[in-house]
Amino acid sequence: MTIANKTVLITGANRGIGKALVEEALRRGASRVYAGTRGPSVHDDPRVTPLTLDITDPAQIAAAVEQVESLDVLVNNAGIALYDDLTDRSAIEQSLAVNLFGPLDVTHAFLPLLTRSRGAIVNALSLAAIAPLPIIPAYSISKSAALSMSQSMRALLAGRGVSVHAVITGPVDTDMNAGLDIPKASPESAARAIFDGVDSGEEEIFPDPLSETIAQAWRDGPAKALERQNAEYVVDRNYTATFTVDQSPAEVFAAITNVRGWWSEDIVGDTDKLNAVFDYHFRDVHRCTVQITELVPNERVVWTVLDNYFDFIDDKTEWKGTTITFEIAEKGDKTELNFTHHGLVPEYECYDVCSDGWGTYIKGSLWDLIETGKGKPNVGEAITDGERALASDRSYTKTFTVQQTPDEVFAAVNNVRGWWTGEIDGSTTDVGDEFTYRYEDLHVSKQKVTESVPGRRVVWQVLEGGPTFVGVANEWAGTSIEFDIVDQGDRTELRFTHVGLVPDYECFDACSDAWGGLVTGNLRDLIAVGALTSRA
């Protein structure tokens, strides 16, 4: 990962290697550098944002998280070294608090941002983690523990796309080493080597002449080999789905790239071209912007989520920065498809709903498209259990089927005066149209047409008003009235939902009765016979 145009947070940034890392990140073109220290000072470069951050203080960590909007690289540099002889337990406890638990707590706090950016964690350790210095044994113990923590983090976070780098530093000319009469590297040269290692993807970075002497032996040695072997025990916790079909890899690839055929017919943009960007939305519940970042015919498709919005969780952008892969492989005379949403893990707030959704669309709709040539994409109506729960929220709904075509149903819905009994002022057919509905002295409301997709969907937003016989003025304001039209072959289904009209509303009983007569009575008659029957 290059530092250019990235956001970097460095703890212990006021002196020594930390200060040098701030300057080096700026030199490499970082867009923002958060300089975390216990007593931050002002920096001349406007790209530097000082953070008050004692890494042993949970309140300061939480406050820092609130100030950082995005993060690509976290450098856990803050540390402490105490001269001791292991006779004072408090020296060990203090060293562990700063050198082990501090970086652990900071990492956990910023992990959601790093997951979103598929970022990097850089833990500043020491040669003492491998070969302890007996004059600072508590420090050596804490750094050894931090090395083990870094190795475990690396395995555990790989599935989220977050890399972990351990910096095995030898003697550097800092305050911490002021009492040692030995050759020392400069903080500036160490900072350059650290970011060079991050750029090149080195898991362990040896940033000075002394540490560099063991670099190759470490990378080729049995300890590193055993670390990689042990990492295989970590189960991939990203959401995955796999199935096998009789069709060829070419047919599977064609189906995957026909995203409107299995995920949503409302997708806008190309879905079968490298670097193309398309938009997905499901009502106001979920919107995302996706770029096709890999497209290898008959083998592999990769999407990167550029932006995302959920209206039902606290982190509205939870998918942002994640990647979605489709791996196609021949298995004898069959084809296997492996789907993975990298970054969609059980810790995500949306995991249950999102995994349910992918299960339906991948193992259901996409499989159907491959096997039968016809998928079951979303056409604006809820398909999965999660979508139904989120979209309806106990809202009033009615469904019926007719023999007429989707276009005929669409025309009848837009002929509002033909089925909604009462007085209507204004146009009702085009997006942006506003109209007022009145029924005697019992109801007055103003609606705006916000969606109109011929043969598929109509949505009105209620701007104001509602029944006049209830105690709550404007009870309908902010609700929406949705008509979803679904082609079922020789029949057409109309799904009506008054989103927001729930049993808690004072008017619910009267309004649901009225909608029942208007929708399954008047509107259905208008569609089926072209006029209202005596039920009107």
- pLDDT tens-digit profile of 259-283? 999 999 889 899 999 999 999 988 7
What is 239-383's CATH number?
3.30.530.20
The residue-averaged pLDDT of 131-151 equals 97
C-beta separation of 415 from 440 below 8 A: no
Residue pair 131/141 in contact (Cβ under 8 Å)? The answer is no
Flag whether pLDDT at 319 surpasses 80.
yes
Mind listing the pLDDT tens digit for each residue in 355-409?
989 999 999 999 999 999 999 998 766 666 666 666 555 688 888 889 999 999 9
How far from 366 is each of 81, 86, 242, 322, CA to CA, in Å?
Answer: 57, 62, 11, 21
- The mean pLDDT of 45-54, rounded to a whole number, is 96
Q: What pLDDT band is residue 533 in, cutting at 50, 70 and 90? A: very low
Percent of all residues in the chain with a pLDDT value above 70, rounded to a whole number: 95
List residues bridging with 52 in a β-sheet: 37
Instruction: Give the pLDDT confidence score for residue 385 in this predicted structure.
Output: 61
* Catalytic site residue from 6, 19, 34, 143: 143
Q: Would you say 309 and 124 are in contact if contact means Cβ atoms under 8 Å apart? A: no
Q: What is the mean pLDDT of the chain?
A: 91
User: Taking 70 as the threshold, does the pLDDT of residue 532 lie above it?
Assistant: no
Q: Which contacts (CB < 8 Å, 24+ apart) does range 506-510 have?
A: 506/470, 506/471, 506/472, 506/475, 507/466, 507/467, 507/469, 507/470, 507/472, 507/475, 508/396, 510/467, 510/469
Query: At 536, is the pLDDT very low, low, confident or very high (cuts 50, 70, 90)?
Result: very low
446 is known as an active-site residue = no
pLDDT at residue 284 above 60?
yes
- What pLDDT shows up at residue 490? 83
pLDDT of residue 180: 67
Q: Which fold is adopted by the domain 393-529?
A: Alpha-D-Glucose-1,6-Bisphosphate; Chain A, domain 4 (3.30.530)
Q: Give the residue with greater pLDDT, 154 vs 491.
A: 154
Q: Among the residues of 327-475, which ranges form H helices?
A: 351-360, 367-372, 385-392, 406-414
Residue 139 a catalytic site member? yes
pTM of the model: 0.57
Residue % of the chain over a pLDDT of 90: 73
Stretch 416-421: mean pLDDT, rounded? 96
Sign of torsion over alpha carbons 57, 62, 66, 68: positive
What does the DSSP 8-state code read for residue 42?
-
In the predicted model, is pLDDT for residue 302 greater than 70? yes
Count the helices and strands in the chain (H runs, E runs): 16, 20
Q: What does DSSP say about strands 277-282 and 396-402: parallel, antiparallel, or unpaired?
A: unpaired
Active-site position among 6, 34, 139, 361: 139
Distance, in Å, from the CA atom of 115 to the CA atom of 319, rounded to the nearest integer, reads 9
CA-angle at 329, arms to 324 and 335, nearest 5° = 110
Quickly count: other Cβ atoms within 10 Å of residue 346's Cβ.
10
What is the residue extent of each domain of the chain?
7-231, 239-383, 393-529
pLDDT digits (tens, 9 = 90+) for 10-19: 999 999 999 9
Q: Which fold has domain 7-231?
A: Rossmann fold (3.40.50)
Same fold, 239-383 and 393-529: yes
Q: Which of 218-232, 252-266, 423-437, 480-494 has the lowest mean pLDDT?
A: 480-494
Residue 502 binned pLDDT confidence (cut-offs 50, 70, 90): confident
Q: What pLDDT was estimated at residue 240?
A: 93
